[in-house]
Structure 1
Amino acid sequence: MTQTPVTLRKPEATDGSALNALVERCKPLDTNSVYCNLLQCSDFSDTAIAALTADEDLVGFISGYRPPTRPNTLFVWQVAVDSRMRGQGLALKMLMTLVQRVATEGVTHIETTISPGNEGSEALFKKAFRELGADYDTHILFSSAEHFNGKHDDEMLYRAGPFTTMTV
């Protein structure tokens, strides 16, 4: 498979609409409003990363934030990779680049939620945790019955760390 060159950078507010379209193409990701995507690309740009082709096509995005009560943690909200870019290691490259950026600001842990059976996300994060030399644990953060009225799968919290900037 031929690798498509991409540029990784902090998102900008002008990426919000393209992010909304990317997430819509990346089923089964939950779509958010364009306004929410604008906020992810502006107010949360320090904890997000965008992947663009040479013609400025947004083909990958990771959104995240640092929970106020756990500033040493990067919570990864969504990982979106356009279908034509899958199988090239883009998700891992974006994640590791983002972790390297936030590690310089004191982040030593990563959290994310993954629905059971989402093998792609489980594989991505487990590989990242191995590369970071970080142990991880899991538990149900939001249950289907208790939090989603049975209309959404459980969300399993994966928490990994600590890691240091030297291992990133």
Structure 2
Amino acid sequence: MADGRQSLVFQSDVESERVTFRKPAPNHAADVWDLVGLCPQLDRNSFYSELLLCTDFADTCAIAESAGEIVGWLSAYRPPREPSTLFVWQIAVHPGVRNRGVGKGLIVSALNRPCCESVTHIKATVALSNKASNSLFATLARDLDAPIRQAFWFDRDVHFKGRYESEYMIAIGPLKPRSI
């Protein structure tokens, strides 16, 4: 780039060529809300929250589509105090396409956008029992050749009043510039 910044470009390894990734649009909110409902391990946000994510945060969120249907959803944002970080809030993958790289493809899709060219770290909070998410982030760190760290973050009793498990902050980075 002319200003000396290096763009991060990553590849996705989704097995099916029929899955495509892109930014969400406001009309995707209902389908996103329905998809999250198919993923009982996830908290279902309000419909209006999904609408705001598909509008105000569309640049850092992503959908995966197959045969005209939404089969994957990434809600993510860049925290105001950490603009070089992409914070992954939620990943939903339709049960019919799990274990095919869709979750990773969603993150890579967001990282490859101009709004994320200065992102050097990825963060997320995950419960220890969430094997799928922990595996996804470990694989992502390995594939991006980036260090990964995990630290206690939200306490079950203090932050969640006993309603949820404690969560750990996963931090990946710094990310190395790559090219296709």
Task: Identify the match of residue 75 of structure 1 among 52, 69, 87.
Answer: 87
Matched residues in 2 for 1:63 and 1:147: separation? 22
- Unaligned residue ranges in structure 1 (runs of 5+): none
- Unaligned residue ranges in structure 2 (runs of 5+): 1-14
1:134–1:160 contact (8 Å) kept in structure 2: yes
Give the alignment's TM-score, normalised by structure 2: 0.86
1:4–1:85 contact (8 Å) kept in structure 2: no
- 1:42 correspondence with 2:55: yes
SS at the partner of 1:46?
coil
Structure number having the greater helix percentage: 1
Number of residue pairs aligned between Structure 1 and Structure 2: 166
Give the alignment's TM-score, normalised by structure 1: 0.92
- One-letter identity of the residue aligned with 2:158: E
Identity in percent: 37
Q: How far does residue 87 in structure 1 lie from its aligned partner after superposition?
A: 2.1
Q: How far does residue 164 in structure 1 lie from its aligned partner after superposition?
A: 3.0
Where in structure 1 do 4 or more consecutive aligned residues deviate above 3 Å? none
1:4–1:53 contact (8 Å) kept in structure 2: no
Partner of 2:111: 99
Task: Identify the match of residue 65 of structure 2 among 32, 35, 52.
Answer: 52
What is the alpha-carbon root mean square deviation over aligned residues? 1.7
SS at the partner of 1:75?
strand
Matched residues in 2 for 1:146 and 1:14: separation? 37
Q: How far does residue 6 in structure 1 lie from its aligned partner after superposition?
A: 1.7
Q: How far does residue 10 in structure 1 lie from its aligned partner after superposition?
A: 0.3
Relative contact order (alpha carbons < 8 A, sep ≥ 6): 1 or 2 greater? 2
